[in-house]
Amino acid sequence: MSIQSWPKHDRPRERLIKQGAQALSDAELLAIFLRTGLPGKSAVDLAREMISQFGGLQNLNRVSLAEWIQVRGLGEAKYAQLRACLEMAKRCLSHELQEAEQGLLASPDLFEQFVRAQIGLSEVENFLVIALDSQLKVLDHKILSSGTV
């Protein structure tokens, strides 16, 4: 059933606008990204299939182009869009961390967010060095090696 035939208050895009992105399921968020489904399959249905096949929304950053195009209805253009969205998210998170008032990695959560912002979306292994001062403020960071480390 097409999303257009759903009541307006149930449609993912309208719900996002009214209730915020946090109110949507992973499948609904992905459906907004996909924009369209296939004949007989809504964008939400296609998103659910993708989430099941790829092991969750969190694994989309690890999906190769070859795996992506095996799903009927997905092609290179959507793959490029996905990679661009993931890179924008990475840069936004990195920027937010850099602008944080403290600029400190004083907790495991902040440390994890910082590392994810630097290498979390990479498809290969990375060796990241982070230089901290005695107050745990990031002085510098650099990826020394990528690929098989």
- pLDDT for 96 equals 66
% of residues, the chain, pLDDT over 70:
91
% of residues, the chain, pLDDT over 90:
39
Which is more confidently placed, 112 or 13?
A: 13
Dihedral, CA of residue 24, residue 91, residue 75 and residue 126, to nearest 10: -110
Per-residue pLDDT of 48-104, as tens digits, reads 999 999 999 889 988 999 999 999 989 999 999 999 998 898 887 777 666 554 567
- pLDDT for 97 equals 66
Helices (H), 35-135: 43-54, 65-68, 76-99, 108-119
- Give CA–CA dist 141/8, Å, rounded: 47
pTM of the model: 0.65
Which is more confidently placed, 136 or 1?
A: 136
| pLDDT score of 129 more than 90 | yes
- pLDDT for 119 equals 80
